[in-house]
Structure 1
């Protein structure tokens, strides 16, 4: 269960790994990361020139120095950073004094500036027998590199308009509460009143915290709690990943992560995304069968409306986050790594925002994906469409239900298995320091095996099967024998954690996977993990699980779980701002990560709550007003259930 894994994560945060590389060797090598005083540099006015550079080191010709020998030895291990590539942020006038005397000649000549900094580093490390050439460079002066443009103005006006509407609607509906019940209903039930009330923050808060006691809510009561624990894992993972793209005083912390088996929860924990796919498939399947149980004919219009409504519900919040990321996010602050951490996101969203709105961003130009974590939304949407087709086939051939499900599951196993074998991919996504520094964009196992929709058919199919089982047994009371409960505990803990901790031997330097072994593991691992989570949900649904059940069904989580979609959308931007504006090198420890993640969690849920009340819930209410036919007949419950429940439950859809 996700709760089990979450508990293990908290243990990992307090454990340290022992360094492979001797400290005396680190002391001899040039610092991998370095930054000058950013703000003091900008105070130089016209002479201000701050550059973030990647310097490629090499040995001086005919002088194979001891330091270079150490560097070669260190970088021969994939578990280490490339210490021959220094990542430095420097104030050019003060760091390279020979350039400071004539800095004006460098400011407008990029090629001349790059040659000048390269010469500076050659002189700097000549005594170590090293030369340095600048291979990447980002520079800025005292003026902001980002100008306010027409897109910023348009988005700003839209956000101001939305804020004004929310304030007006909240006062309009809030003041009506002080009137009699009859007068309140008269005001709110008018056409104008219903539309305005959709944007009332007070009314949306009441909707959010409303406790659902219906039969459907009882059948799916474990979902929100599991969502909550899973989004915690997602935020922790993303906070760590973005931290690893910044500058640290102790890169050994990252380089020694594979030494500690418990760190596999981070390094091999990407399978937790199968939880969201599983939940999405479960909700879709359950509501599909529940809605059509008494119907004789399935109309295509119902399926079409379900797709349209799901698109609107998911996309409304997504548009807001994309718009902010493509405009005002870059203006929030500045810093040595601001352009790398936040500026790249801005440029990617300006370039590829449309792929997100079409939910194809996990296939098209992945290297420049807007909102990198939104690959899951695309994969989930693609599988949602595919699953509606599958469920339609099942509805028409009900006696072949399990056969069709079985075929889909086998396909979900074969696709990653065969793909891994054909292209000779690795047995897992190796989250070594250098790939992490580049956010795994250069890792084919991430871009080709994890994020494409068709690679995740297995997990979604397990969810469809689970939804069918919940539907079939929703009104039955089942008494389980003790040996079955013991087996349940073993599988719920054993399957997911076994998949994760199998990464321990696979990360060893001497481990070389066979082509067939890698293929089978890639095909089985994600599905075995999903089966373990699925068994946990089904067991809790039938009142077994003891403390796990209590932890998942805790009432506050029913509200927090509804926020997970909005939290999922906003949390990465908040983490980027935090690390992008940093002025000094960070010292990584388990305790520092714990405190930083705690603040990220609080801020993410506060921001997610605002997005939910201001955008998601008004969109939901407006949909019901614009399409009142959803409430007329049982047939229309397909669209209402599949979308209003499936998406309303915040089918988020993690890294």
Structure 2
């Protein structure tokens, strides 16, 4: 049972376990201490520093030692590396500082292996900072890499430092011989000890064309925002007479709209509590993602985390996956509430191509900039032994698959998604493609169409249950199976359809006053809370679970969770929310809610950066994760604000201007005003992400 829901936590929330490497906890596997073996542990515990062992075992290293290839080509390929290591050995004997640094920067074999410490990072900066001038044309630079050796089910990792002239394959060959000699055990040739992907030097690659383009584009946007803001502030005090294009780029105008607080209940068409629900869900996503980062980090007490998984508190982290369902629910509900109101004014007419176009141009600019920033700017912002390794995405994934992300088909087109948390946007976009036909059915056939949608929801839930049981498809199974259970619209439709049905109910009852007696209100809250907490703790302490039980849990909770939220929203709208309404409808949530799309897109940017610059092993505890969480959330909101005024708000305003050619100024004003109207903002935030999920989701504004 523990294994299953660790995978539900990691695999279903963000689908990144395959990218987390050999970290056993992140894969949801327990690591019995006995697997290491008493004899192996005794042999390891007697070892000195690997650097000392290396120097003593290879006092006169040869090219054959480095390559295992005695052919002329093989010997020539390692000649430079051989000469540099020979120089290292010579200068060590005379205690040259550069040589001592190269040896000193190596990691130890990890101390505390019996409590789950399987990493020793060594000293990254000491290694890459080495630059020894041998002659005018020859310099020896440090190259930092991870060396890993698998013993039983445990993978030990330690930092090593070699001359930069040595390739990863050279290091792999010589370290393989070293480990086999020290441990008196054969190490399979199929197991890679050193990978070039883990190696780094101080040398930085020159900016390529796309990097320069990204920097220039951001500079141009920054200049436009700065110029528009200065003009707005100093030369145009009258906001109404300001040119629409200038206003679109003005940080002053966009910030005024962003931070404008609207008093709750001041507009009957506004559902105030959605701000709080959206923000709390996003915070849940970031918090859960930080636990995922810690699960893949070099913790000194990894095995202690197994007891954490069994704790009651862990259920609220592991089930951050329900933030996904929250955002799908909000997406469906807001779509119906807004669209049906518009269809009433147009007598049922719905411009479907324009709906698709508006949604695409609202969502895509920020996603496109996120791809550029992640691919070309993030690598420039930091370095470290783990930089680019403890992450939800790899740079190679974005280089190869960025187009699928911009087309919102990445959940089908590839397993290596660029911006892995953007799967939510893809699924939501795919659900949105079918939504207009449901809207037309609701408008024309009313309750009969609603009944059909309800039946469709039950059929999709039944199909999910049947697929899991018949194909024995578990969240604890293969990566392909988990993808089909997490990334596809057919298995994600239930909360979306619940949102559509609830939105239709709100449409039918708008303006109606509900006078409920206290018993009915109490029962409503009891049922809603029972649904919500059952989803969270139904599998707590379960020692094992069959595929039928898992299928029931997965299929039913995707209906139960949004049903519980239906009552929360209904109660808050009709004066029965009490403390919940006061909290969720607080105006203080409004700015964060308006930033939630940008924050969803960029929160993993911050988490990848902060985890990648780690220099030493970490200690896993709830308090340590909380410290990281507040830092990540704070910097995420700062970055999302910058991206909002640079990209999101200007592009959204320009789109509105272009689509309202008859009166661009008023159209721009309306856009800025509706940013403060929660009901007029169909914001589908992260879900799993914020999505994702925890976490990993959210989407953008559909006005």
TM-score, normalising length: structure 2: 0.75
CA–CA separation in structure 2 for the residues paired with 1:30 and 1:473:
57
Matched, 1:419 2:467: yes
Task: State the secondary structure of the residue aligned to 2:388.
Answer: helix
What is the aligned partner in structure 2 of residue 78 from structure 1? Answer: none
Counterpart secondary structure, 1:54: strand
Shift of 1:21: 6.4
Cα distance, 1:273 vs structure 2: 0.9
Retained in 1: the 8 A contact 2:115–2:302?
Answer: no
| 1:377 and 2:446 are equivalent in the alignment | no
Matched, 1:90 2:140: no
Counterpart-to-counterpart distance in 2, 1:503 and 1:308: 43
Q: Are the counterparts in 2 of residues 222 and 537 from structure 1 also a CA contact under 8 Å? A: yes
What RMSD over aligned residues (CA atoms) do the two structures have, in Å? 3.1
Match of 2:414 in 1: 365
Deviation by residue 1:474-501 (Cα, 9 ceiling, x = unmatched): 2111111111111122122221221121
> How far off its partner does 1:155 sit?
1.0
Q: Is the 8 A contact 2:284 2:320 kept in 1?
A: no
Q: Which residue of 1 aligns with 2:214?
A: 155
Aligned-partner Cα distance in 1 for 2:640–2:321: 23
Q: Relative to structure 1, is the Cα distance of residues 559 and 47 closer, same or farther in structure 2, using a 3 angstrom cutoff?
A: closer
1:28-427 equivalences under 5 Å are 31-45=117-131, 46-58=140-152, 82-83=153-154, 85-86=155-156, 88-93=157-162, 103=163, 107-108=166-167, 110-126=168-184, 134-135=192-193, 137=195, 138-144=197-203, 146-178=205-237, 181=238, 185-186=240-241, 188=242, 193-211=243-261, 218-299=269-350, 302-341=351-390, 345-366=394-415, 368-426=416-474
206-215 or 223-232: bigger deviation: 206-215
In 2: Cα distance, 1:347 partner to 1:134 partner: 20
Gap runs ≥5 in structure 2: 1-8, 10-29, 42-111, 132-139, 694-703
Deviation at 1:219, TM superposition (A): 4.0
- In 2, Cα distance between equivalents of 1:475 and 1:344: 47
Alpha-carbon deviation of 1:414? 2.1
Q: Which residue of 2 aligns with 1:612?
A: 644
Q: Structure 2: how far apart are the matches of 1:601 and 1:451?
A: 25
1:497 aligns with 2:533: yes
Distance 1:136 1:249 in 2: 22
Asked if 2 retains the 8 angstrom alpha-carbon contact of 1:280 and 1:460, the reply is: yes
Match of 1:540 in 2: 572
Residue by residue over 1:180-229, the C-alpha shift from the partner in whole angstroms, topping out at 9 and shown as x without a partner, is x4xx655x2xxxx2212210000001112334579866442111110010
Contact kept? 1:282, 1:467, Cα under 8 Å: yes
Distance 1:574 1:415, change over 3 A: same
Distance across 2 between alignment mates of 1:124 and 1:282: 64
Bigger shift: residues 523-532 or 203-212 = 203-212
**Residue 617 of structure 2 is aligned to residue 585 of structure 1:** yes
Residue 530 of structure 1 pairs with residue 579 of structure 2: no
In structure 1, how many angstroms separate the alpha carbons of the residues matched to 2:389 and 2:235?
49
Instruction: Give the superposition deviation at 1:56.
Output: 1.9
Distance 1:646 1:620, change over 3 A: farther
The answer (yes or no) to whether the contact 1:420–1:519 under 8 Å persists in 2 is yes
How far did residue 121 of structure 1 move?
2.6
Say which SS state the counterpart of residue 628 (structure 1) adopts: coil
User: Is the 1:492–1:532 Cα contact (8 Å) retained in structure 2?
Assistant: yes
Contact 1:122 1:131 in 2 (8 A): yes
Is the Cα–Cα contact under 8 Å of residues 242 and 579 in structure 1 kept in the other structure?
yes
Give 1:631 shift.
Answer: 7.5
| Higher-Rg member (1/2) | 2
Aligned residues: 568
Distance 2:663 2:570 in 1: 30
CA distance in 1, matches of 2:287, 2:268: 29
The 2-side partners of 1:603 and 1:613 are apart by 16
Corresponding residue of 1:73: none
Q: Structure 1 residues 629, 492: closer, same or farther in 2, change over 3 A?
A: farther
> In the superposition, relative to structure 1, how do residues 146 and 492 fare at CA in structure 2: closer, same or farther (>3 Å)?
farther
Give 2:75's aligned residue. none
The aligned counterpart of 2:107 is none
The 1-side partners of 2:267 and 2:462 are apart by 34
- Please say if residues 146 and 330 of structure 1, whose CA atoms lie closer than 8 Å, have aligned partners that are also in contact: no
Q: Deviations over 1:445-500 (max 9, x none)?
A: 54111221221111000100111112222211111111111112212222122112
Q: Does the C-alpha gap of structure 1 residues 28 and 345 become closer, same or farther in structure 2, counting only changes over 3 Å?
A: closer
If the length of structure 1 is used for normalisation, what is the TM-score?
A: 0.80
Deviation at 1:261, TM superposition (A): 2.6
Encode CA deviations 1:331-375: one digit per residue, 9 max, x unaligned: 211111113136953221111111111111122212x11111111
How many Å separate the matches in 1 of 2:244 and 2:663?
Answer: 16
The Cα of 1:27 is off from its aligned counterpart by: 5.1
CA contact (8 A) 2:393 2:420 kept: no
- Any residues of structure 2 matched to 1:620-639 within 5 Å, and which? 620-628=652-660
SS at match of 1:249: coil
User: How far apart are the structure 1 equivalents of 2:311 and 2:123?
Assistant: 35
**1:472 to 2:508 alignment:** yes
Q: What is the CA distance between 1:649 and its match in structure 2?
A: 4.8
* Kept after mapping to 1: 8 A contact 2:116/2:303: no
How far apart are 1:604 and its partner, in Å? 1.1
Q: Distance in 2 between matches of 1:308 and 1:527?
A: 30
Separation of aligned partners in 2, 1:622 and 1:27? 57
SS at match of 2:436: helix
Higher alpha-carbon deviation: 370-379 or 482-491: 482-491
